């Protein structure tokens, strides 16, 4: 696995260590929400479907400052150009986004590359293609997508972790603070959640509960 890319800061922990725990998704132009998420998360991914590039660049600018202050990783969803322009740590690609090989050609070692996977075949392909980390799921039923992929369950997650080794796996899909311990027990390096944390009555408490099972 690669070291922290040249665009990153001189963090006290390696990026692999930072990837472990709560992988937060910022889906609103809201600095308070970002600060609340970063009270426990060591990764903040920007996910703004349909946002204009100008707005995304502006959000990425202040998010880069916040994550740098807190020693967290900044990930941009889908948009390689914005990730590079914002000096993000990583870009996260879906199965229908820019191919992994092309992303590596453009980004070189300036960005870590994350890839969403939903089957063991996709896991194998992403690992062979040089992905730095994987998202895998949905582990549980999820309402965050109009047409979700088939639910893989904890056994599917554990199989993906074994198949990806030593590439870190982030569990995605239907994960809540109450389920975080199960996900950690299946071997995931981190757990990702959106509505279960971002829409919680107390975001900081929910974020802390997501992170707790991964602390060793």
- Annotate 12-51 with b (16+ C-beta within 10 A) or e (fewer): eeebbebbbbbbbbbbebeeebbebbbbbbbbbbbbbeeb
Catalytic residue of the set 18, 64, 87, 116: 116
Radius of gyration over every alpha carbon of the chain, rounded to an integer in angstroms: 16
Residue 57, number of CB atoms within 10 A of its CB: 16
In the residue annotation, 145 being an active-site residue is answered as yes
Catalytic residue among 32, 49, 145, 215: 145
Q: Could you confirm whether 116 is annotated as catalytic?
A: yes
Instruction: Give the whole-angstrom CA distance, residue 97 versus residue 175.
Output: 24
The residue annotated as part of the active site, out of 47, 58, 110, 204, is: 47
Respond yes or no: is residue 144 known to be catalytic: no
Dmax of the chain from CA atoms?
A: 43
Catalytic residue set: 47, 116, 145
């Amino acid at each position: 696995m690669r070291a922290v890319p040249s665009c990153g800061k001189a963090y006290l922990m390696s990026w692999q260590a930072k990837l472990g725990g709560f992988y937060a998704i910022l889906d609103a132009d809201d600095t308070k929400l970002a600060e609340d998420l970063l009270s426990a998360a060591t990764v903040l991914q920007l996910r703004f479907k349909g946002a204009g590039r100008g707005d995304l660049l502006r959000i990425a600018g202040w998010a880069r400052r916040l994550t740098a202050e807190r020693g967290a990783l900044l990930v941009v969803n889908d948009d390689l150009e914005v990730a590079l322009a914002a000096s993000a740590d990583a870009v996260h690609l879906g199965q229908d986004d820019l191919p992994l090989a092309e992303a590596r050609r453009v980004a070189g070692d300036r960005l870590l590359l994350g890839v969403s996977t939903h089957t063991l075949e996709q896991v194998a392909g992403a690992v062979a293609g040089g992905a730095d980390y994987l998202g895998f799921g949905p582990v549980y039923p999820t309402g965050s997508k109009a047409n979700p992929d088939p639910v893989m369950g904890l056994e599917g997650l554990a199989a993906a972790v074994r198949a990806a080794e030593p590439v870190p796996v982030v569990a995605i899909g239907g994960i809540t603070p109450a389920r975080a311990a199960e996900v950690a027990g299946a071997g995931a390096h981190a757990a990702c959640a959106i509505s279960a944390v971002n829409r919680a009555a107390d975001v900081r408490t929910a974020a802390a509960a997501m992170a707790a099972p991964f602390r060793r």
